[in-house]
Amino acid sequence: MKRVFFLFFFLIGLSEVHAQQVNVNPSIVNFNVGNVGASETKVVTITNNSSKSQSFEVSLGDWNRNPDGSHEYFAPGTKPFSCSSWITLSSNFIEIPAGQKGEILITMQAPTDPAQLEKMKWAMLFVQGAQIKKELVGGQNEAKAAVQEILRMGIHLYQTPPSLFESSARTLNLNPNKENSKVYDFEIENIGKTMITGRAHMEITNLSNSEEVITPVVDFPVFPGGKRVVKLEMPNELKKGKYSILAVLDYGINNPLEAIEKTIEVK
């Protein structure tokens, strides 16, 4: 008996997918609704640069970032940080002719509970389209595979009340990575009410001659209440000896630098 296999390719969080010749703009939508009952509407534009008409389904979902930076997805309205239930879409389905643009209106409606406007909320807008690409047929005794490619893009939706403008973060740990001896895991926590965009690096000082090496900066976002483990790589050119390594967190020009120092020996 021949078996039919369906292969699915998911492309998530991409603003532009060249293979499909589809562009979604913007990839991040920021709302700043601050009053009970107030609303704000933003537009997401989908451009079909291909030679064929394409249709898309539009939906909402909840999501969060894990400490390693990966994303985790949930049903809409199931998480305490979700604003999915505050959002109304102009349409859940859109068909766009070849070479044309289509628009999705996203309306953020503030709830009647003022306490909900004292916290940042977030959600994800999914734009998904499916198209059968081709059928691959083997020999008489070989399996037949129908290949279906599913285009799925995620647009980040952030709701930050204008009253929330102060940010706060702290460093927690700096430990050798268990899998790579040349990497240090720098753990930080967002203890504020707004999302931060952190920038981390290491300042490595040779204790015998005071020579200093600064590692490249790593950029990363962290939601309120979230933790992030940033992997900072040691340079290859370090000579044997004792070093002071200072892991530095910079999360905004108006915020103080946070750091953790550790003494190590390179053998």
Q: What is the CATH number of the domain that holds 33?
A: 2.60.40.10
pLDDT category of residue 11 using cuts at 50, 70 and 90:
very low
Q: What percent of the chain has pLDDT over 90?
A: 78
Domain identity same for 152 and 22: yes
Domain identity same for 120 and 86: yes
Distance from CA of residue 13 to its chain's centroid? 7
| Model confidence at 189: pLDDT above 80 | yes
pLDDT category of residue 129 using cuts at 50, 70 and 90:
confident
Could you give the number of structural domains in the chain? 2
Q: Where is average pLDDT lowest: 7-16, 66-75, 153-162?
A: 7-16
Domain identity same for 151 and 61: yes
d(CA 217, CA 94): 41
Q: Regarding predicted confidence, which is higher, 3 or 43?
A: 43
Average pLDDT of the chain? Answer: 88
Is residue 88 a part of any domain in this protein? yes
Domain identity same for 253 and 208: yes
Per-residue pLDDT, 133: 46
Is residue 102 a part of any domain in this protein? yes
Per-residue pLDDT, 130: 55
Per-residue pLDDT, 142: 56
Domain identity same for 153 and 207: no
Last residue of a domain, one of 102, 124, 159: 159
Taking residues 101-117, what's their average pLDDT? 95
Q: Where is average pLDDT lowest: 80-94, 147-161, 165-179, 189-203?
A: 147-161
Domain identity same for 154 and 190: no
Domain identity same for 70 and 174: no
Is the CA virtual torsion 153, 195, 60, 43 positive or negative?
negative
Is residue 209 a part of any domain in this protein? yes
Is residue 17 a part of any domain in this protein? yes
Per-residue pLDDT, 151: 78
Last residue of a domain, one of 159, 179, 214: 159
Taking residues 119-141, what's their average pLDDT? 72
Per-residue pLDDT, 148: 53
Domain identity same for 123 and 240: no
Q: Categorise residue 252: left if φ over 0, alpha if ψ from -120 to 50, beta otherwise.
A: left
Q: Where is average pLDDT lowest: 135-139, 147-151, 250-254?
A: 135-139
Of 77, 106, 109, 85, the C-alpha closest to 94 is 106
Domain identity same for 15 and 129: yes
Taking residues 249-264, what's their average pLDDT? 96
Taking residues 196-201, what's their average pLDDT? 97
Per-residue pLDDT, 166: 87
Taking residues 12-17, what's their average pLDDT? 39
| Model confidence at 115: pLDDT above 80 | yes
Is residue 11 a part of any domain in this protein? yes
Of 223, 165, 43, 31, the C-alpha closest to 109 is 31
Is residue 1 a part of any domain in this protein? no
Q: Which range marks the domain in which residue 11 is found?
A: 7-159
**pTM (two decimals):** 0.83
